[in-house]
Structure 1
Amino acid sequence: MKKQLLFILAAVFLLNIISCKKSTPSEGIKIDFTQSYEDAALALHSAQQKYEEALSGQVPEEIEVAKAALQKARLNYMESKKVYVSKGGEANAKYENYLETSSKALEKDPASQGSQTQTPVTPVEQVEDAAKAVGNEVGKVVDHQAAQAVSDVVKKADLKKASEKLESEAKSTVNKTKSEVKKTSDDLKKASDNAKKSADKELKKAKEDLGNLFK
């Protein structure tokens, strides 16, 4: 009877110890918070990948759904991290990178860039746009050719003007030279005539003096 009583008391004591261990915060509870934190991080990474895929598909409806899921996953991760850190855990650098890259992914939102929400372009509009582009290029070529033609005309006009100027200056120089040569020639002829007259006069006087001497 005493043995049975001791056995019952020992069993109750062991149950009390086990119960106290379960009610006391332990590593088991910390692991639960860690698992929750890890799950939130993996869910964030998965949501980001799906959002990237939706962006590649360029379907506005799918992009909006994936965007909403990614934003919710970000909030869940940040809340889970807050609880995890408050219980003594440390933020994982890899998971923080998930958060940062997800933020960058949301910056690619075509709605904010206006690239995916534009009105779809019809084939007719595409042809018109192509025609306008070709027209613009042709216009540029024509403008360039016209400018080149004008430039050539100007160059030719300038060249002609320069040629005429040179010709005029050459003629002026020739005429001036002819005038100077003629003047010089006239001066020489005049000087020669004067010298001849003076010589004739002197010779005549000498003859007269000689004739008077023999009279």
Structure 2
Amino acid sequence: MAYDHEEQEQLASLSAWWKRYGNLTSWVLIVALAGYSGWAGWQYYQRTQSAQAGQLYDELQGAIAAKDAAKIQRAAADMQSRFGGTSYAQMSGLAAAKAAFDANDMKTAKAQLAWVAEHGSEEYKVIAKLRLAGVLLDEKAYDEALKALSGASVPQFAGAVADRKGDILVAQNKLAEARTAYLAAFGATDKNNPGRQLIQVKLEAIGGSVPEEKAKAAAAAA
């Protein structure tokens, strides 16, 4: 009987607790379960999106190998409309732009690069802006080329961006500004990067120099 009495007291205590906190506990549990369900659903959605985007990217690569310009652009457009938030969409835009450039379709190349520059992650945006500026430079659209580079501020691309600015400024015969750009490019480019020597050659070709480097070389040789 003692056990039964103790059990009844526990049940009564639990009943009182439930009357006081049961509703709150239920809501907390519902929110927790809903949160987990939403997270699990999102993870599944992400995996599904990535798998489908990967298949479409393979199709685009096949079209590039076959040099099927229409299919390349169709696949890229499909990728951007259906999977615009994935890295596959950004890679597809760059690949489609390169294919269009190789086919001398500058209008399509610029459109694809502009899409990546607007919708891509920071790294892809800078790559797209660099390539777009290069196309515009070839077209002698110098002001547009410089504008295309605006906002391209990812540190690892600082040297490439400054180098491209230097090229555009040289084409505009703004040599003083070009020297400043090339000096910035030289300073931002890793010493082991082969492109650094080319930047120095371009700088010296327009009357510039890298005196700090020469001073160091002279000191080392002494």
TM-score (norm 1): 0.31
Q: Which protein shows a greater Rg? A: 1
TM-score (norm 2): 0.30
> Per residue, is there more helix in 1 or in 2?
1
Larger RCO, structure (CA 8 Å, separation 6 or more): 1
